Structure 1
């Protein structure tokens, strides 16, 4: 059986290809805010780690794609779910779970190249059918 190649979603490439007119601005953003957009520009805090930059640019790009700016808390939750789905495919999650027999959220996040909040969101909002498929794949690997 041939193994599938697990390709990480590249939010920077996605932004460049699908939204070439959007400008990214690096600046110091006060407080806990990592980034924001007005639909034409994305501001990112210049202190973010690589993983935080990856998650935040994906998050702001989805806001642009959905066209709901500014967003209320319900829209933020939707965007967080979409970010988690875009950055963590089912196959990538299965692969990470296989590597970590007793996974913690930080170890899964590190393996999936996302932050803990994103992996937690992915796990918490996963449909039951997907959960069952993952359990079956993990059971078959044992």
Structure 2
């Protein structure tokens, strides 16, 4: 499982600032040295927002991105945070989308991005698990 906090520890030039985001977004980055996270976020939300901003930084993004770029970052964030093995394991018993997200330690939105971007092979793996549990 991808650990965004561990990745951040290796990136010693990046500073995290916990603030009350004025526009309600969970996080933002300048693309170089600073990631701002909303201090009102829960632990799973902080984890997801940090991973998301790290992907932006890796790609050299600063400022607002187009919806297409933002979607690509959301999908990459979800793929890093949710391995297919973990997704299948949790799907075997989770009774709701919320419960599934909680088990995977992600937000429901990140889980949705992961589910909607499955490869054909991943879809087959997940379908097999779901079929076995009917």
* Structure-1-length-normalised TM-score: 0.85
Alignment equivalent of 1:13, drawn from 3, 6, 21:
6
Partner of 2:49: 56
Alignment equivalent of 2:120, drawn from 115, 128, 134:
128
Q: Deviations over 1:26-60 (max 9, x none)?
A: 11112321110002100111111001100000000
Partner of 1:67: 60
Unaligned runs of 5+ in 1: 1-7
Question: How many residue pairs align between the two structures?
Answer: 132
Partner of 1:118: 110
Does 2:88 correspond to 1:94?
Answer: yes
Q: Which has the higher contact order (CA 8 A, sep 6+)?
A: 2
Aligned partners of 1:31 and 1:69: how far apart in 2?
A: 17
Partner of 1:82: 76
Runs of 4+ in structure 1 deviating by more than 6 angstroms, as ranges, are none
Partner of 2:15: 23
Query: What is the Cα deviation at residue 98 of structure 1?
Result: 1.3
Structure 1 stretch 88-97 or stretch 120-129: which is displaced more? 120-129
Query: Does the aligned pair in 1 maintain the 2:88–2:125 contact within 8 Å?
Result: no
